[in-house]
Structure 1
Amino acid sequence: MQLSIVIPLLNEEESIKELYDWIASVMQSNRFLYEIIFVDDGSTDQSWNIIENLSKRNPNVKGIRFFKNYGKSQALHAGFKMAQGDVVITMDADLQDNPEEIPELYGLIKNDGYDLISGWKKKRYDSVLAKNLPSKLFNWAARKTSKVKLHDFNCGLKAYNHNVIKAIEVSGEMHRYIPVLAKNAGFDKIGEKVVQHQARKYGTTKFGMERFVNGFLDLLTIWFVSKFGKQPMHLFGALGALVFLIGFSFSIYLGIDKLFLNPTGRLITSRPQFYIALSCMVIGTQLFLAGFLGELFIRTKKTSENYKIAEILAQKNTEVSD
């Protein structure tokens, strides 16, 4: 199969049918073999019923419905797990991403050999204070921290080589950092394409300002995981040894001072250096143990999905669609 289009959504009943018609038209005009995977992230409106009806009309339409709202990262994880296309496209369901971009994105992956192409909404139709300025600050911090040179990490319109989505694990709220996850997994050919951004036609955004706070916290997490996730002892062990050495040095000083330099002086326990030494040795030991336990956890952990699927629509793919 040439293309898998993964679309996570939450309460987008007004736009699903229109988006499907648009995508189907693009697929037919370019003679693509394709599948559309709608991932319903716990919608409370008629979104799932619409997806079911579309699947009955067109066997290329598949669906995954979560029991409740787990988040966009979990929706993408489930969609990636089902996807079978040589090239995988992700896009939002709110009609702000333009399906006309898909053929060029496909070509960049299939013909030009890119591992991942991220969309760049250079001209946006969002509120300047609510989204544009925080988004620019967020993207600047992400570039500096990850060394991945993209202008728009959070753009939902992206294209992936099939091998990329099967090699990475999107969890928590890490969907913003899929390019970084791909780079950490060894996929270095990451590009960017300016894409058309459209004003939201129906409903309101499902994300608030808290997503930027969470985004920066996730950025710190992914920086730490990418740098020390495989070998936590390199951080905690080194810090623990350093702090313990500082405390041990203080204790040696106190011992020499009491035994040889000032044997009649005040008690060691009445001196502030004693508590500095004790605290440093205890904290250093705890840091070292944290690194040791982290190494044990990495070597014994078992991965499992942190979402529950209520229903799956999956049919044999055909070349014909309406």
Structure 2
Amino acid sequence: MNISIVIPLLNEQESLPELHQWIKKVMDQHQYTYEVLFIDDGSTDRSWAVIESLCQENPCVKGIRFFRNYGKSQALHAGFARAQGDVVITMDADLQDSPDEIPGLYKMITEENYDLVSGWKKKRYDNVVTKNLPSKLFNWAARKTSGVYLNDFNCGLKAYRNLVVKNVEVSGEMHRYIPVLAKNAGFNRIGEKVVIHQARKYGESKFGMSRFINGFLDLITIWFLSRYGKRPMHLFGAFGALMFVLGFLSTGFIIVVKLIKLYTGFHTILVTDNPLFYIALTSMIIGTQLFLAGFLGEIILRTKNNEERYKIAEER
């Protein structure tokens, strides 16, 4: 099979029939063998009923419905697990991503040997204040932190070699950072393609300003995981040991000075009346806690089980 198209969605009943026809037209025109995987992430409208009718109409269409809304990352994870195509394309269901871009993305994977190609919505039709400017700031921070130099991390239109999606673990809200996860997994041939961005035709965006706040928090998480995810003791243990040693040495210094002054007959205040003593004691306590956090992190890594992150209600 040439292409698997993975489409996570939430309450997109109006756009699904038009999107399906558009995809089918492009696939038939280029004579691709394909499958379309619609992942219904807990829609409360008639999205699943529409997907069922599309499955009956076109044997290349498959559907997965979650019991409730688990998030885009979990939807992509379910789609990736079932994708059989040599090239896996992800796109949003709101018609803002153009299926006409699929052949160009496919060729970049198969002919130019990229592992992953990310779309770049260079000309956007979103609100400048609430989306464009925050997006530019977010992408700048992501480039500086991750070392992956893409202009649009948030673009849902991406193409992957099948081997990539089978070896990248997408969890939490990490769908924005799949290129970073791919790089950390050893897939270094990451490209970018300018793609058409269309104005939303039906409904409203499911993402608000909170996605950028969550995005920055996820960026910190992925920075930590990429460097210390497999060795938390190297970070927490190092800081903990440093703080404990500094606190211990400071306490020792206070006690030695006190003993010297007592021996020479100088009147001194009690050790416990010295503010430096409490600073040193606090430093030792925090250092011990950080060291234990690193130690517990190492234990968890070695004993954790892969937990089910979502539950599937139906599958077509």
User: What's the secondary structure of 1:11's corresponding residue?
Assistant: coil
User: What's the secondary structure of 2:7's corresponding residue?
Assistant: strand
Q: Counterpart in 2 of 1:187?
A: 187
Measure, in 2, the Cα distance between the counterparts of 1:165 and 1:142.
Answer: 21
Q: Which of 282, 301, 309 matches 1:279?
A: 282
User: What's the secondary structure of 2:8's corresponding residue?
Assistant: strand
User: What's the secondary structure of 1:207's corresponding residue?
Assistant: coil
Q: Counterpart in 1 of 2:302?
A: 299
Structure 2 counterpart of 1:299, one-letter code: R
- In the alignment, does 2:269 pair up with 1:266? yes
Q: Counterpart in 2 of 1:30?
A: 30
Q: Counterpart in 2 of 1:14?
A: 14
User: What's the secondary structure of 1:6's corresponding residue?
Assistant: strand
User: What's the secondary structure of 1:65's corresponding residue?
Assistant: strand
Residues 109-149 of structure 1: per-residue CA shift (max 9 Å, x gap): 11211110000000011111121111111111111111100
Structure 1 counterpart of 2:282, one-letter code: S
CA contact (8 A) 2:4 2:88 kept: yes
Measure, in 2, the Cα distance between the counterparts of 1:281 and 1:216.
Answer: 31
Measure, in 2, the Cα distance between the counterparts of 1:3 and 1:305.
Answer: 27
Residues 39-67 of structure 1: per-residue CA shift (max 9 Å, x gap): 00111111101111111121111000011
User: May I ask how many residue pairs the two structures share in their alignment?
Assistant: 313
Measure, in 2, the Cα distance between the counterparts of 1:51 and 1:290.
Answer: 46
Return the structure number with greater relative CO, CA threshold 8 A, min gap 6: 1
Structure 2 counterpart of 1:99, one-letter code: P
- In the alignment, does 2:224 pair up with 1:221? no
Measure, in 1, the Cα distance between the counterparts of 2:262 and 2:286.
Answer: 29
CA contact (8 A) 2:261 2:268 kept: no
Measure, in 2, the Cα distance between the counterparts of 1:189 and 1:20.
Answer: 30
Root-mean-square deviation over aligned CA pairs: 1.0
Q: Counterpart in 2 of 1:318?
A: none
Measure, in 1, the Cα distance between the counterparts of 2:269 and 2:138.
Answer: 55
Q: Counterpart in 2 of 1:85?
A: 85
Residues 130-170 of structure 1: per-residue CA shift (max 9 Å, x gap): 21111111111111111100000000000001111111111
Structure 1 counterpart of 2:21, one-letter code: D
TM-score, normalised via structure 1 length: 0.95
CA drift at 1:227: 1.4
Structure 2 counterpart of 1:256, one-letter code: V
Measure, in 1, the Cα distance between the counterparts of 2:66 and 2:177.
Answer: 23
Q: Counterpart in 2 of 1:172?
A: 172
CA drift at 1:275: 1.1
User: What's the secondary structure of 1:178's corresponding residue?
Assistant: helix
Measure, in 2, the Cα distance between the counterparts of 1:52 and 1:36.
Answer: 13
Q: Counterpart in 1 of 2:45?
A: 45
- In the alignment, does 2:96 pair up with 1:96? yes
Structure 1 alignment gaps of length 5 or more: 314-322
Identity rate, percent = 68
User: What's the secondary structure of 1:197's corresponding residue?
Assistant: coil
The aligned runs of 1:33-182 (5 Å cut-off) are: 33-182=33-182
CA contact (8 A) 2:10 2:41 kept: yes
Runs of 4+ in 1 over 4 A off after TM superposition: none
CA drift at 1:266: 2.5
Larger displacement relative to structure 2 (26-35 or 258-267):
258-267
Measure, in 2, the Cα distance between the counterparts of 1:302 and 1:3.
Answer: 32
Measure, in 2, the Cα distance between the counterparts of 1:182 and 1:108.
Answer: 17
CA drift at 1:73: 0.8
